[in-house]
């Protein structure tokens, strides 16, 4: 079995030591080098190029984002960001994701060694996902798995009873995505005109990172983008992103839609879960909704998208060629939940066309 060759770049000797030990315990992973900064990394990479890089952001001599951009420009390589979780670092890490990083592992400033040991499964899963990512898609546009039982959306809310309102004056677009989704969502949302249907989004992302991500999207989109709060109305020209570490559900008050943000167990090993959002949309919006499933590892959202389609919603999946990881869309297609498969660049147009046909 060919092993995944990893390079760890972090100025903390403790992080280098612990991460190297954890990754080397996995039978399919080996750490080639663990270095203190990007300058040393580039020297080592002249002889052996890694399959995956685990990268810190704030380092001496060259920061991680500059190094990431350089790598993506010269030789696109899967990168997992391992960053300290602070308000400032959240924005910095969003820049790294925009530059082409595949995923994020958060680390605290205190009790770092214990945290890394406790998060070994998450770290190994992130490296494995990065190793199979279509990183050239990320460069061109320059989840944490837990060792617990895999719950379904039943853990949060029951399945639809088929009594969703048959017609309203508003349309709801529900989008679910994971690995590669930060860049993919930017492509979709920046293509939408200011007058667009209300959008609800689950992007698998750690707690405290979604606010910075929403702010960044809001700065480049014609529509308004914000991190969701309970009671926020799903209104035309607005996209609501589920907060990291919370589930988001669609609710209805008369003919209007709003969201509820809530705690709860991991569903499909994720919180927020795409399946939870999609099931709530099937229950509350039915045929008034459009469901979109995009790039991501695993199967979260596949069951929920089928429920949406069975409730009368129009459903779309991102195609394999434009996905960073063709996991979630593939499973949704396999289960029969997808009505149409399109390229990433066509998803925005699909949303607009469906809105126009609904209003016609």
Q: pLDDT tens across 297-314, in order?
A: 889 999 999 999 999 999
Give the least confident one: 26-30, 56-60, 138-142, 260-264. Answer: 138-142
Q: What is the pLDDT of residue 86?
A: 39
Distance separating alpha carbons of residues 341 and 316, to the nearest angstrom? 6
- Phi/psi at 248 (nearest 5 deg)? -125, 130
* Catalytic pick among 33, 204, 247, 270: 204
* Catalytic pick among 83, 178, 287, 322: 178
Q: Are residues 131 and 163 in the same domain?
A: no
| Total number of domains constituting the chain | 2
Are the beta carbons of 339 and 318 closer than 8 angstroms?
no
Residue with the larger pLDDT of the pair 155 and 149: 155
Distance separating alpha carbons of residues 112 and 287, to the nearest angstrom? 48
Question: Cβ-count burial of 165 within 10 angstroms (0-12 exposed, 13-18 middle, 19+ buried)?
Answer: middle
- Say whether 161 is catalytic: no
Confidence category of residue 65, pLDDT binned at 50, 70, 90: confident
Q: Left, alpha or beta for 245 (phi > 0: left; psi -120 to 50: alpha)?
A: left
Counting residues of the chain whose pLDDT is more than 90, the rounded percentage is: 51
E strands in the chain:
4-9, 29-35, 52-55, 79-84, 103-107, 172-177, 198-203, 224-227, 238-241, 247-253, 256-262, 289-293, 314-318, 340-342
Counting residues of the chain whose pLDDT is more than 70, the rounded percentage is: 84
Residue with the larger pLDDT of the pair 199 and 125: 199
Q: Which of 262, 301, 311, 273 is nearest to 160 (CA)?
A: 311
Confidence category of residue 40, pLDDT binned at 50, 70, 90: very high
Q: Are residues 163 and 118 in the same domain?
A: no
Are the beta carbons of 57 and 89 closer than 8 angstroms?
yes
Question: For residue range 215-253, what is the model confidence (pLDDT) as tens digits?
Answer: 999 999 999 999 999 999 999 999 999 999 899 999 988
- Say whether 204 is catalytic: yes
- Say whether 300 is catalytic: yes
- Which CATH number characterizes residue 257's domain? 3.40.50.180
Are the beta carbons of 79 and 100 closer than 8 angstroms?
yes
Tell me the average pLDDT across 96-105: 81
Q: Which residues face 315 on adjacent strands?
A: 291
Q: Are residues 88 and 13 in the same domain?
A: yes
Confidence category of residue 73, pLDDT binned at 50, 70, 90: confident
Give the global pTM: 0.71
Q: What is the pLDDT of residue 265?
A: 87
The yes-or-no verdict on residue 156 having pLDDT over 90 is: no
Q: Are residues 26 and 117 in the same domain?
A: yes
Task: Examine residue 168 and state whether it is found in any structural domain, yes or no.
Answer: yes
Q: Are residues 123 and 177 in the same domain?
A: no
């Amino acid at each position: 079995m060919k092993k995944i060759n990893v390079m760890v770049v972090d100025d903390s000797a403790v992080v280098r030591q612990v991460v190297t030990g954890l990754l080397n315990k996995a039978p399919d992973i080996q750490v080639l080098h663990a270095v203190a900064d990007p300058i040393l990394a580039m020297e080592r990479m002249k002889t052996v190029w890694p399959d995956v890089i685990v990268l810190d952001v704030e380092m001496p001599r060259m920061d991680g984002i500059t190094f990431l951009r350089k790598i993506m420009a010269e030789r696109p390589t899967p990168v997992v960001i391992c960053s300290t979780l602070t308000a400032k670092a959240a924005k910095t890490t969003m820049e790294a994701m925009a530059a082409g990083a595949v995923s994020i592992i958060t680390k605290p400033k205190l009790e770092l060694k214990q945290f890394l040991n406790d998060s070994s499964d998450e770290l190994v899963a992130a490296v494995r996902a990065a190793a199979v990512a279509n990183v050239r898609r990320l460069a061109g546009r320059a989840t944490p798995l837990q060792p617990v039982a895999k719950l379904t959306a039943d853990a949060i809310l029951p399945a639809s009873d088929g009594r969703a309102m048959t017609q309203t004056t508003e349309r709801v677009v529900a989008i679910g995505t994971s690995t590669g989704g930060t860049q993919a969502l930017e492509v979709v949302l920046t293509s939408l005109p200011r007058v667009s249907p209300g959008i609800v989004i689950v992007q698998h992302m750690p707690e405290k990172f979604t606010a910075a991500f929403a702010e960044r999207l809001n700065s480049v989109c014609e529509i308004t983008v914000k991190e969701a709060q309970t009671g926020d109305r799903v209104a035309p020209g607005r996209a609501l992103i589920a907060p990291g570490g919370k589930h988001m559900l669609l609710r209805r008050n008369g003919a209007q839609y709003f969201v509820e943000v809530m705690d709860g167990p991991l569903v499909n090993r994720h919180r927020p879960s795409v399946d939870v959002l999609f099931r709530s949309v099937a229950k509350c919006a039915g045929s008034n909704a459009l469901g979109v499933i995009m790039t991501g590892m695993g199967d979260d959202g596949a069951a929920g998208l089928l429920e949406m389609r069975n409730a009368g919603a129009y459903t779309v999946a991102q195609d394999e060629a434009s996905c960073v990881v063709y996991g979630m869309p593939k499973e949704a297609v396999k289960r029969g939940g997808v009505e149409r498969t399109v390229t990433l660049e066509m998803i925005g147009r699909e949303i607009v066309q469906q809105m126009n046909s609904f209003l016609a």
